[in-house]
Amino acid sequence: MLTLIKQSPFSARVGLLIIMINLSAILLAPYIAPYGETEFVGDVWDTMSYEHLLGTDQLGRDMFTRVLYGARNTITIALAIVMLSFTVGCTLGFVAATLGGWVDQVLGRLVDVIMAFPTLIFALMVLSVMGTSIPTLIVVIAILDSTRVFRVSRAVAMDIEVMDFVEVARLRGEGLWWVMRYEILPNAMPPLIAEFGLRFCFVFLFISSLSFLGLGIQPPTADWGSMVRENAGAISFGIYSPMYPAAAIAILTIGVNLVVDWMLNRSSLLRT
């Protein structure tokens, strides 16, 4: 692991640093946040000061605290979504690539149907009908995203599946699960990790968009997207409040992308 980081280019290290900072925000939020998540502590849209590092938001809550908790809420939900979509998408993608034939066709067409829906509208529809609880949110976005993961993992698996060592395993009599788990998956990791990072960014932005539209994470829970929406009015007064959560979204997205770029570079050279 350490040699990996030693050989990484500068941009990847910047990306890793950003991710580390965000991870510590998630883990340490309750301990380092100066105030409570929903506590009213000051005047509306106070400027930056020693007591309020990033000022206050539109209701007088401390912005710094809200950004920290927003990291916690949004990132954990995004991670849950991507992990679920990857589990579903990769399994189906590997199965489709390995079995081929009609299984591949059926799964492919099913995925095509789901992908044909515009994602935002589909999500809005389902969430309006089923309510915006966190589990519903996770499942809906995960299913929408798993289609993209299916496509990528299927393509990667097809490249690996034609190698002789997979045929060796088949001739030995290994079952489908064994072949997928031990022959295909280890070789598919570099591009899949890269895809994981990219999906995370997209999901992240998607949740933020949904929250911005009012159908994602509900107030008063801190969430970067809804914070941008709620504070948007400040711009007209020349107050920078909405920039902090927006910048946080942008920085995290860039950080993950830098690491993903590095992973993609490595995986193209790693091909034996």
DSSP-assigned states of every residue in 86-131: HHHHHHHHHHHHHH-HHHHHHHHHHHHHHHHS-HHHHHHHHHHHH-
| Contact pick of 186, 236, 238, 269 for other proteins (by CB under 8 A) | 186
Comparing CA positions, the residue from 173, 154, 246 lying closest to residue 209 is: 246
Q: Is 174 in the site for other proteins (CB under 8 A)?
A: yes
Q: Is residue 183 a contact residue for other proteins (CB under 8 A)?
A: yes
Q: Name the nearest CA neighbour of 17 among 5, 35, 32.
A: 5
Cβ-based nearer residue to other proteins, 7 or 128 = 7
57's torsion region: left (phi>0), alpha (psi -120 to 50) or beta? beta
Q: What mask of x and - would describe binding to other proteins in positions 106 to 145, judged by CB under 8 A?
A: ----------------------------------------
Interacting residue with other proteins among 125, 130, 165, 220 (CB under 8 A): 165
Burial of 88 (0-12, 13-18, 19+ CB in 10 A): middle
Q: How far is the CB of 262 from other proteins (least distance, A)?
A: 17
Residues 234 and 1 sit within 8 Å (Cβ to Cβ): no
Distance CA 259, CA 252 (A): 11
Interface with other proteins, residue 40, by CB under 8 A: no
Cβ atoms within 10 Å, residue 154: 23
- Residue 168 found at the interface with other proteins (CB under 8 A): yes
Residue from 22, 187, 208, 267 in contact with other proteins (CB under 8 A): 187
Which of residues 50, 173, 237, 269 is near other proteins by CB under 8 A?
Answer: 173
Query: Does 163 participate in binding other proteins (rule CB under 8 A)?
Result: yes
Q: Does 170 bind other proteins (CB under 8 A)?
A: yes
Q: Which stretch binds other proteins (CB under 8 A): 8-16, 47-55, 182-190, 206-214?
A: 182-190
Q: Name which position in 109, 171, 237, 238 contacts other proteins (CB under 8 A).
A: 171
List % helix, strand, coil for the chain (3-state, nearest 5).
Answer: 75, 0, 20
Contact between 145 and 198 under an 8 Å Cβ cutoff? The reply is no
Q: Is the peptide bond before 220 cis (omega within 30 degrees of 0)?
A: yes
Is the CB of 122 or the CB of 170 nearer to other proteins? Answer: 170
Q: Closer to other proteins by CB, 28 or 270: give it.
A: 270
Residues forming the site for other proteins (CB under 8 A): 163-165, 167-168, 170-174, 182-183, 186-187, 272
